[in-house]
Each structure stands twice: as structure tokens, then as C-alpha cells.
Structure 1
Amino acid sequence: MEEVALADIDLSNPFLYRQGRWQEYFERVRNEAPVHFQAKSPFGPFWSVTRHADIVAVDKDHETFSAEPFIIIGEPPRFMDVAMFIAMDPPKHDRQRAAVQGVVAPKNLREMEGLIRSRVQEVLDDLPIGEPFNWVDRVSIELTARMLATLLDFPYEERRKLVEWSDLASSMEQANGGPSDNDEVFRGFVDAARGLSALWRDKEARLAAGEEPGFDLITMLQSNEDTKDLIDRPMEFLGNLTLLIVGGNDTTRNSMSGGVLALNRFPDQFEKLKANPDLIPNMVSEIIRWQTPLAYMRRVAKKDTMLNGQFIRKGDKLVMWYASGNRDERVFDRPDDLIIDRRNARNHISFGFGVHRCMGNRLAEMQLRILWEELLPRFDKIEVVDEPEYVQSNFVRGISRLMVQLTPKTDA
């Protein structure tokens, strides 16, 4: 790695993530060129912002750094040029986000907790004991699909469709280097547009017939002045619902898998957890830091500016590498280690900052907390029995396969 010239390091190379080589490159860039220019990436020229403090500064300054038109490093295919509020600046961003913010309001989260717990219990009770299985499919994807179906009031028996649509949206080669077939992505989006439009129309008809409004995302969008006609703006409709599905899928799902992997890599931490289950909430923050489910967000400079000694021109593309900021030695001691009682675990930047801070962060934390509260009394060992397989993407820090074997707790 040392022989690679600093200017040639391309942090957007998706294979760095699939091969698990990303940490060493980021460490070098953080130390030698914290605001690093890459002139010749497949996604065009861009600046990498790699230190925690600089990332926070960019993320909080929407006056200087715009989220429009995309938050991914590349440009999606033309048919996927959809509008979503995460890639809008205020005031439009604020109006559209406000329409759905209520679904994760504290009161609503408290009401959801019992439902989430019962679903976690159902999934865990159904797991095979003493034989290897893919944790990603049986636990992480299944629990995420159930939650998404609830949030959208989507037909429960078709819940896996939501995960499929999310995976297609976040695996486009032009956007983030994932292996993808544009024809397959297009067909998937036609299917998603059809399914989500039918869901919207069905909800509209039920409300018109006198059904009580629910606390789901579709009802909230229909009940808000700024978004009640969203279906008449097809690219915005599809964009915002895709955003809500991807947001509800990737963070939680990859942290559910990443936590199991991390506790296998650091077995002393699993012993510490078993001895003190009160550490679960802090551990959840530490897992989200260690995994960093979405590696970055992109911004575009609205004007000439300076950032940590570098001159950034108006129109330049910047990538805030959350995955790097969460491993910044200036903020986190032994940053590559999982330390479940880490004092500043909540200082992670996986959810972003400022107006674009992840709307569902409390819901994600609650799902992970409940999962571990239910896992600990059931299983003495959750053993990873094979090397994990990672998603090929510079955006989603995902695990596609994690073979585990469970040993149940025995009453002593």
C-alpha cells in the first residue's frame, strides 16, 4: 500500500470495501492529506473529506455545501434520476422531511416497541440450533423487511419486495461501483413504481371511505399539504419512497450483521456484554460506529471556499467519508477495535449532522437494542463459522453472507 502515490489513491474504488482493504488507505489519507483530491476516478474528480471534525463542518454547513442533485458519488442512470428530500436543500428539503418525521416521533416509537419485540422473538425462536445458517438472510433481512412493511403499511406477505427494491436502488454501478444490470434495475423500478402507486391509491380509497388515519409513512405523506399530491409528481414520489425504504433497510440490516461479526472479532467484548447486559444501549452506538452502514454522503460546493487548508472551487464535488471519520484516531482511541463501553461511542457520525441527519436514527437504535436484549438470554454463543462476504459498493458498507452457528443458553 505504501508504494501507491498519494495522488493515485482512489477511495471510491468499490473493491477496497469488498476486499476489506479500506481502513489502511483511509488511515494514510487522514494523516497525510485529510482533504484529498482524486482527479481521475471512474466517477469524475472529487475531494475526499476524511477527518471527523472536517466532515462535521461540511455536513452542518448547507449554505456552502449543497446536497443537490445526488448524495451518491456517481450519477445514476437517466431513468433513476429521481428526486428525494435527502438530495434537496432547505427550504424544500425541510417541508418534505417534516411530512414524514412524525412516524419516528418518540410517542410513536414507544408504541412500536412492543410490536418490534414480538417480531424479533418470532424470528429468533425460529432459528436453527447447532447448524450453520446465513444470519444476514434469516435475521437481518427478515427483521428489516418486517419493520419496513409496518412503516409503510405494506402487504406483510410481500415484505421481501421492499428489500429487493432497496438493494436495486443502492447497487447501481454508475452510482457507487456495485455490480448491476441496468435492465434489471429498470424492471425493478417499474415494479416498485407500480406497487407503491397501488399502495398509495389503496390507502387513499380507504381513508376516503372513512378509515381512521394510521401512523404509517403513506398516510403521513397524504395528510400533509406539501406532499398530499406527491403521486402526481412521479419522480419525486418514487424518489422519496425509495429513500425511506433504503433508509429503513441499510442502516439497521448491516448493523445487525456487523454487530455479530464484531463480537466474534472481539470475543472479550461479548464476555463483557454477557456479564453486564446494561451495556447494550452503548454497545449499539459502538456497533453503528464500527460498522458505519453507509460509507459516505456527497456534497457540491456552492461557492469558492477553504477546507482544512485546501481551496475548494464552486461546483467541486466533496465526499464526506463517514467510515473514515468513525475511525479517526483524533477522536476515538483504538478506533479499529470494538469497545462496547467506549465512553464517546455516541460521537460517531454514521447518521450525519445538520438538516440531513438521519431521520430514523432512534428507530434503528431501538431495533438493535431490542435484538440484543432478546439474543442474550437465548444464546450462549453466536459463532461466525466462515469468512463474511461483503457487498461490492463504495456506498453501502454491507455484508451479504455471514454464516453463524448458535449455542443455546443452558440453565445451570
Structure 2
Amino acid sequence: MADSAQLIDDVVDRNLHGPIDQVDPSEAVLFETEAHHDVFKRLRREDPVHFLPDSPFGPYWSITRFDDIVTVDSNHKVFSSQPSIVIGDPTDDFQPPMFIAMDQPKHDVQRRAAQPAVAPSQLSDLEALIRQRVCTILDDLPVGETFNWVDKVSIELTTQMLATLFDFPFEDRHKLPFWSDVTTTTEAVGAAGADMEERKRHLHECLEYFSRLWVERASQPPKFDFISLLAHNPETKDMIKNPIELLGNLMLLIVGGNDTTRNSITGGVYFLNRYPEQYEKLKADPSLIPNMVSEIIRYQTPLAHMRRIALEDFELGGKLIRKGDKVVMWYASGNRDEDVIDRADEFLIDRKRARHHVAFGFGIHRCMGNRVAEMQLRILWEEILKRFDKVEVVGEPERVQSNFVTGYTKLPVVLHPKR
């Protein structure tokens, strides 16, 4: 244990105080220990468009300032998302294609087919269902005793929502967060010791299950769940004939509908406890909830980065990015950019322009489920304030080992009922 702690200290020290040209913000331990914020602050100050010639993920550029991230993310003609959106390349030949990791026109075709499930027109129908489920989850929680908020609330709520978006058999919904974790636990995002063969086996089980659902939905009248939409759309109905592409899009939709919201639900509780004056402000004025939701998403930044490949030479911040170079946009850094966001390191639920963040991305790859995510968080906090005086954090969180998903595995809390 002591040796492990020393290794962590060495990694943090090297990135904070070593030569700037050797700084490697992709080291997952930085995110586990929350040291990544200080490392990114250094890069924004000293070398905001930063090239690392050698890393476990190969040479890559780090884009760390808000405006530079928007420039890259908005320019899909120069910066391609193929073949992957994460910093690492696969260690084997198993890289299922998914539309977020495609360029136009194929990206637009597949995204357009799935998007109606989370379109604004669907939100009013979903809201009543989400509120009903939130109430059931909160009313079943133990009051006055310690439990893991991640398991009891964050995972359960997002799993139920995901089951709805897929019209997935409710009794098997626990499979969805499991497949989500399997998808994101990979060496390509710094998860050391990931068993890639076991991962592949679980994902093929996911494919088999959803293939059965696809065949059923294709023979039924169209509905607004992801599988039915894809199975009935003339441009995607044959995806079942390309199982590896179907699997890739399943992985994308499962993670997109689960991991990001799950970790913002946990992060919100943690941040309000770290900033108790903000919790008091919230209790005094619940109308701040929608604004707070945006601040939670900014402060949490559920996905720390997105990667692109330069299709041509491009100058950014006085540096020349060469054709073929790997470019990593660090959303976790852009959301703490002091030149764009006032008091960026503080959690302020009444922040002006709270929606001005990069957590959802920009351009053609902007998160298509952002409104559903915001709605889940809003409803959850509306119902929490009706029931509890405080959700008290009684221990430090445990975080996932990843430079991609900024997530939690454990947050011990105690609920205090309203007086």
C-alpha cells in the first residue's frame, strides 16, 4: 500500500513540477486522485496546445483551453472522430464502429435514426415517468443509516431511464449498467489490468440479447425506443446484418444514457457537501435547481475527453498540428478555464451563464441526450428537497480508474428527513 501511494505521489509530482514537455494528463491515477485539475491548470497556463511525443497511448496533442476545444470540436471537416473517440487505440482488432466515431455522411444517418427517442417532443411524455420512478426510489431509501448513493440512487435511476429508452425488459435492467461498465473498462482509457477477452465475451452477450430484441421490434409496429427506431428506419434497418456495427452503437447508446447522468447524480451530492453554503442556498431557493443542474454537469464533466485525428495540417495556438496527428480535447480542462469561466474552480449553483460549458461537446457530435440528462437531474433534486433536509456525505468517494469517464463507484451518505 505504501509503495502504491508513493507511485501515485511520483506521478502527480512529475506532472505538476517536472518538465512541461513531459506532462501527460492521460495518466488515469490523476483522475482517481483529483490531481488532474491542477495538471490542466498548469497546461492552460504554460502550454495550452501541448504535444507529448511519447505516452502509453502514443504521441498526442492536448487541447486544454475552452475556446480551442470549441474550435476543434466544431470543425469536423479537419478533425475526424474516426476510428475512436477515446485517447487509446484498441490493443486487439476489436473496435466496434459507432456513429459518434464516424464522420459524415454516415454519422448523420445513424444519429438521425436514433435521435427521436430523446427529442424535445418526447420529454413531456418522459417527465411524468421519471418523476414516478424518482419518487419510488427515494421513498424506498433507508433514513438515518449509511448506504452507497451510487448503487441505491445514481445507478438505479439511470438504469430505469435507460431501460425505458431501449424499451428493455425491466426485470433484466441490471444488465445495462453492467454492460456500460464493461464498455468503458478498457486499457484504451487507462484501466490497468482490464481483461480484454472477458470484456469481449460480455459484449457479445450484450449483442445476442439486443439482436433478439431487434428481430422482435422489426416485426412490430414502430415505436420511439432506440431499437425500434433503428430497426424501422430505412437507412439503418439492415444494421442487424452487420452485428459488429450494431454492437458499437449499442455500446454508445448504453454508455451515453447511463454513465454520464449516473456520475452527475453522484457528483451533485458530493459537491453540495463540499460547498455547504451552496446547499443552504439551494434549500432557501429551490428555483435554483435548473441552473444548479448545469453547474453540476460543468463541475463534474462526466466525460473528461474526446479524441480526434487531424485530416490536414492545422495551426492552433501558434502550434502546427500535422495531418494524421492525434488530438485530445480535454473537456475537464475547458470547464475550469479561468479565462472564460469566472471563479471556475468554485461550485456556484447560481452561476451566471451556467450552461456555458463544454461537457456536452459542440458541433455534429454534441450530446444528443443532453436534455434528458438535465431533466433527470432536475426532477431528482426537486424530489430530494421535498423529502430530506440533507443528503449528508459521510466518507470520501471512491472513483473509477479512467481518463475518460470521471465516475464514482462509492459515495457513503446518510439521509436526514425534513424537520
TM range (shorter): over 0.9
What CA distance in whole angstroms lies between the structure 2 residues aligned with 1:327 and 1:287? 13
1:253 aligns with 2:262: yes
Name the structure 1 match of 2:398: 389
Give the TM-score normalised by the residue count of structure 1: 0.97
- The residue correspondences of 1:100-115 to structure 2 (distance < 5 A) are 100-115=114-129
Letter in 1 for 2:310: A
Q: Deviations over 1:114-155 (max 9, x none)?
A: 000000001000000000000000000001110111100111
Name the structure 2 match of 1:85: 99
- The residue correspondences of 1:12-27 to structure 2 (distance < 5 A) are 12-27=26-41
Give the TM-score normalised by the residue count of structure 2: 0.95
What CA distance in whole angstroms lies between the structure 1 residues aligned with 2:189 and 2:278? 37
- CA distance 1:347–1:364, change in 2 (3 Å): same
| Runs of 5+ consecutive residues of structure 1 not aligned to the other structure | none
- Conserved in 2, the CA contact under 8 Å of 1:281 and 1:369? yes
1:66 aligns with 2:80: yes
How many residue pairs get aligned? The number is 405
Q: Deviations over 1:318-338 (max 9, x none)?
A: 000000000000111221111
Name the structure 2 match of 1:166: 180
What CA distance in whole angstroms lies between the structure 2 residues aligned with 1:63 and 1:400? 38
What CA distance in whole angstroms lies between the structure 2 residues aligned with 1:294 and 1:11? 14
C-alpha displacement at 1:49, in angstroms? 0.1
1:243 aligns with 2:243: no
Name the structure 1 match of 2:373: 364
What CA distance in whole angstroms lies between the structure 1 residues aligned with 2:89 and 2:112? 27
What CA distance in whole angstroms lies between the structure 2 residues aligned with 1:227 and 1:248? 20
Q: Deviations over 1:344-398 (max 9, x none)?
A: 2101110000000000000000000000010011010111001110100000000
1:204 aligns with 2:218: yes
Q: Deviations over 1:142-182 (max 9, x none)?
A: 01110111100111011110111111111101344354111
Letter in 1 for 2:97: A
- Conserved in 2, the CA contact under 8 Å of 1:332 and 1:344? no
- Conserved in 1, the CA contact under 8 Å of 2:69 and 2:330? yes
- CA distance 1:30–1:56, change in 2 (3 Å): same
Query: RMSD in angstroms over aligned alpha carbons?
Result: 1.0
Runs of 4+ in 1 over 4 A off after TM superposition: none
C-alpha displacement at 1:80, in angstroms? 3.0
C-alpha displacement at 1:79, in angstroms? 5.0
Q: Deviations over 1:293-312 (max 9, x none)?
A: 00010000000110110011
Name the structure 2 match of 1:52: 66
Q: Deviations over 1:27-59 (max 9, x none)?
A: 000010000011111010000000000000000
1:186 aligns with 2:195: no
Correspondent of 2:146 among 119, 128, 132? 132
Name the structure 2 match of 1:293: 302
Name the structure 1 match of 2:361: 352
Name the structure 1 match of 2:42: 28
The alignment partner of 2:342 has SS state of: coil
